[in-house]
Amino acid sequence: MEDIGLTDGLGVTLMSDQHKGLVEAVKEVFPLAEHRQCARHIYANFRKKYTGIHFRSLFWDASKSRTPQEFEGIMQEIISLSLHAYEHLMERQPSTWSRAFFKIDTSCDAVENGASECFNSLIVSSRRKPIITMLEEIRTLVMERMVRMNNKACNWDDEICPNI
């Protein structure tokens, strides 16, 4: 299953999994939204058939390319290795997973949705509970994290955090 990122024209990126009904519902609510797929999920499926460091490197170069011309150059390298690999990637709509085709007025150029994945893994035990219980558990998790991070920050020797 591939995650899709949706940007609502105001620069807000929404992440969801690829349930067709959900994608269509979001299109109704946000008709100007840019639909994206998580490159990590595209690559996970790609590497099942096309293994090796060269394919991996070329895929990530293609996903992070800045212009359609740069993307095409990288895809030509993939064609030279395997026409089927090229066709496999082109079937997955590069406009949804390569930065070269993202709208330039969007404030998010991420090709992965790691933040959503991290959050989802954090709330696994809460997701199946009634909505109020789930929200209360999420609120508690967030508050506990804020306290932990604040305590950590109090022990810094410098005014700049040690890592992002």
Total structural domains in the chain?
Answer: 2
pLDDT at 35: 80
First to last CA, the chain: 30
Q: Which domain holds residue 44?
A: 3-101
Record the pTM: 0.63
pLDDT at 17: 47
pLDDT at 64: 94
Query: Is residue 27, in this structure, part of any structural domain at all?
Result: yes
Indicate whether 24 and 57 sit together in one domain.
yes
Indicate whether 72 and 20 sit together in one domain.
yes
pLDDT by position in tens, the chain (length 164): 344 444 444 444 444 445 567 778 878 888 888 888 889 989 999 999 999 999 999 999 999 999 999 999 999 999 999 999 999 999 999 998 999 998 877 666 677 776 777 888 888 888 889 999 999 999 999 999 999 989 988 888 887 877 75
Indicate whether 8 and 84 sit together in one domain.
yes
